[in-house]
Amino acid sequence: MKISVDYARCEGHGLCADQAPDVFSLDDDAELTYHFEDLEVPDEHTPAARAAVNVCPVAALRVQP
């Protein structure tokens, strides 16, 4: 599974990082870091990553087809 991130849309709520801390994190300036940029999310992180996509209040995260 790959996830696309719309960094311009992200408001730094951090809900994705709460759901999937091994996949997403926020830096000290509340800027999102996606740890698997241009990579497949490893299978062991897929459920948490899907939960993170679903919880984003501004729809900045999408599962790529």
Number of domains present in the structure of the chain: 1
Task: pLDDT band for 8, please (50, 70, 90 cuts).
Answer: very high
Question: pLDDT of 20-43, one tens digit each?
Answer: 999 999 999 999 999 999 999 999
- On whether the CB atoms of residues 52 and 29 are closer than 8 A, the answer is no
pLDDT given at position 65: 84
What does the block give as tokens for 61?
A: 């995260």
Task: pLDDT band for 62, please (50, 70, 90 cuts).
Answer: very high
CATH number (domain holding residue 36): 3.30.70.20
Domain holding 39, by residue range, is 3-63
Q: What is the mean pLDDT of the chain?
A: 97
